[in-house]
Each structure stands twice: as structure tokens, then as C-alpha cells.
């Protein structure tokens, strides 16, 4: 049984059908790539599964139990985190404060009641998270707005990995990064996977998909049209599945 199963998901925007009975599965401890041409429904599906938007039909099962994520907090309460393309970091805050944003640890006793934070505990845990992921972030006192794109991505990944117990969605995590920074992010994704978390990678880069994914699920016109074992696949096969060329050749 898959960790997460989505069946028959429908979402429309006026006369535009974004998802037309889409199916999707996520396995624990695996990287599942979600690919498709522009307008295939990838981002809409991720928004629904992360609680940002609601579906109009279909069902989502997590650990065999039906769930309904009406908002992102509901998804997070089930151990599901998302690293969006814009990262959603606060540039004026340092990595530790970003990691604990809205999850701050208060000090015990009266000081906690007065609103004082346990900064040492938060910093110690942040160091542990960054070290565990092999993150390139070293300066924990500097605002993330002054950091490189790769370091910002590391902070966003670490924040999700610190709180996710089930699944992390990565939406185009390397889109604005150079070669070295991209390699670091792909390594972070592998480390998250090796912790037993289900990883969903949304990407337009077929070489990166084949490098890091275990399985590839293809959306076209709002429906899943293929599930492919990445180790046995090729860029040509993935592109063919996305465009419908494989269907034409099979016919």
C-alpha cells in the first residue's frame, strides 16, 4: 500500500479543466518525480495535496485512511511539508528563526509565559538539522536575504525536513540554481529520502529527474498517463510520455 494515494482528483477554474480525474501515488523512502508539460496540472495537484487548494471531486488516502486537507496547516499536521519555488522564506530573519517561524520554543516557567524564547534549544536543533542534511549553510546569525540561492534553498529544505514525518513536495527546487548548487540540492533530496520520507519532485529538468528519482509519474491534460521506473527509462521516453508521442507510436 502506498503512503499516499490520490484518486480521481478534479479541479476546474471556470471553463479550464486543470485536473480531470488525476491519480497519484507516493511511496515512503522514495523520490517520486511528477512531470508534465506546462498546463498539465502538476502545480494544481501539489497545491491540493499540500492543502493550499481544495479539489472538487476525488479522494486522498494517507496510510490507508481518507484525509481532507482544507488548508496547509491540516497537511502539516499530518507530516506533509512543501518547498515552493519562491521558498517562502523571510529574508530579514536568520536561518534559525526561519526554521522555527510560527513554531518557536518558549522558555519554561514564568519567562515562557512572558513570551521569552528558548533560543539555545532552537539553535542547537537547527545545527543538528543542517548537519544531518549536509547543508552548505554555515552562518546561522546572518539574514537569509544576504545568502546565495543555493544556501536559501538549503534553509527551505532543512525547514521542511525538520518538521515533515511523511512527505515533502519540492516544486522546481533547482530552477534558479547553478551547477554546483543544483548538485547540492539533489544531494539534500537524497538525504531526505534516506530518512524514510516520501519525496515528490516537480521538475522540468529530465536529466535531474533521472538522476534522483525512483519512479516518474506523468501528467498530461490533467490526468496521469504513465508511471515509469526511472532506472530503466530515458529522456526520450519521458518526453514522449509527456507529449503523447509514445501513445502515437504504440498505436
DSSP class per residue in 129-157: HHHHTT-S---TTS-GGGS-HHHHHHHHH
How many residues make up the chain in this entry?
A: 251
Compute CA 160 distance to the chain's CA centroid, rounded to the nearest angstrom: 8
| 93 Rama sector, left if φ>0, alpha if ψ -120 to 50, beta otherwise | beta
Same domain? 101 vs 131: yes
pLDDT, position 116: 77
Residue 15 within any structural domain of the chain: yes
Q: Helix, strand, coil % (nearest 5) of the chain?
A: 40, 25, 35
| 183 Rama sector, left if φ>0, alpha if ψ -120 to 50, beta otherwise | alpha
Residue 85 within any structural domain of the chain: no
Residue 84 within any structural domain of the chain: no
Residue 246: pLDDT band by 50, 70, 90 thresholds? low
Same domain? 157 vs 172: no
pLDDT, position 251: 42
Which residue would you say has higher pLDDT here, 244 or 236?
Answer: 236
Grouping H, G, I as helix, E, B as strand and the rest as coil, residue 98 is helix
pLDDT, position 81: 92
Same domain? 63 vs 99: no
Bridge partners (DSSP) of residue 23 are: none
Is the pTM value of this prediction over 0.85? yes
Residue with the three cell numbers 545545527: 127
Task: Answer whether residue 221 shows pLDDT above 90.
Answer: yes
Which residue would you say has higher pLDDT here, 149 or 20?
Answer: 20
Question: Which residue range(s) make up the domain with 48?
Answer: 1-79+164-251
Residue 242 within any structural domain of the chain: yes
Cα dihedral across residues 66, 72, 77, 79: positive or negative: positive
Same domain? 169 vs 247: yes
Domains in the chain, number: 2
* Per-residue pLDDT reduced to its tens digit, 102-126: 888 888 888 777 777 888 898 998 8
Residue 114 within any structural domain of the chain: yes
pLDDT, position 249: 55
Task: Answer whether residue 14 shows pLDDT above 90.
Answer: yes
Backbone angles phi, psi at 69, to 5 degrees: -90, 100
**How does DSSP classify residue 79?**
T
Same domain? 109 vs 138: yes
Q: Are 228 and 237 in contact (CB under 8 A)?
A: yes
Q: Are 130 and 137 in contact (CB under 8 A)?
A: yes
Same domain? 170 vs 73: yes
Residue 173 within any structural domain of the chain: yes
pLDDT, position 240: 93
Same domain? 169 vs 74: yes
Same domain? 247 vs 171: yes
Cα–Cα distance between 242 and 226 in angstroms, integer?
A: 9
Grouping H, G, I as helix, E, B as strand and the rest as coil, residue 202 is strand
Same domain? 53 vs 111: no
Dihedral (C-alpha) 123, 129, 199, 26: value to the nearest 10 degrees?
-80
* Per-residue pLDDT reduced to its tens digit, 130-151: 888 887 787 888 999 999 888 8
Average pLDDT, stretch 219-224? 95
Same domain? 61 vs 180: yes
Please say which residue of 146, 163, 180 terminates a domain. 163
Over the chain, what is the mean pLDDT? 90
Q: Are 23 and 32 in contact (CB under 8 A)?
A: no
Backbone angles phi, psi at 126, to 5 degrees: -65, -45
pLDDT, position 108: 87
Amino acid at each position: 500500500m502506498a503512503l499516499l494515494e490520490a484518486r480521481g482528483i478534479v479541479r476546474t477554474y471556470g471553463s479550464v479543466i486543470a485536473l480531470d480525474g488525476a491519480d497519484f501515488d507516493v511511496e515512503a523512502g522514495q523520490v517520486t518525480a511528477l512531470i508534465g508539460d506546462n498546463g498539465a496540472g502538476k502545480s494544481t495537484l501539489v497545491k491540493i495535496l499540500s492543502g493550499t487548494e481544495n479539489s472538487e471531486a476525488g479522494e486522498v488516502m494517507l496510510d490507508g485512511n481518507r484525509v481532507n486537507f482544507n488548508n496547509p496547516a491540516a497537511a502539516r499536521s499530518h507530516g506533509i511539508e512543501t518547498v515552493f519555488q519562491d521558498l517562502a522564506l523571510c529574508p530579514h530573519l536568520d536561518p534559525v528563526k526561519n526554521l522555527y517561524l510560527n513554531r518557536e520554543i518558549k522558555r519554561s516557567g514564568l519567562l515562557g509565559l512572558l513570551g521569552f524564547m528558548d533560543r539555545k534549544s532552537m539553535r542547537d536543533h537547527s545545527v543538528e538539522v543542517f548537519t544531518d542534511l549536509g547543508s552548505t549553510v554555515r552562518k546561522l546569525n546572518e539574514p537569509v536575504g544576504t545568502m546565495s540561492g543555493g544556501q536559501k534553498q538549503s534553509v527551505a529544505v532543512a525547514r521542511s525536513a525538520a518538521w515533515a514525518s511523511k512527505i515533502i513536495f519540492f516544486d522546481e527546487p533547482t530552477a534558479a540554481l547553478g551547477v554546483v548548487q543544483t548538485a547540492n540540492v539533489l544531494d539534500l533530496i537524497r538525504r531526505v529520502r534516506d530518512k524514510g520520507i516520501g519525496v515528490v519532485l516537480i521538475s522540468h529538468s529530465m536529466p535531474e529527474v533521472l538522476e534522483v528519482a525512483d519512479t516518474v509519474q506523468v501528467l498530461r491534460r490533467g490526468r496521469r498517463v504513465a508511471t515509469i521506473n526511472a532506472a530503466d527509462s530515458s529522456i526520450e521516453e519521458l518526453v514522449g510520455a509527456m507529449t503523447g508521442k509514445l501513445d502515437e507510436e504504440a498505436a
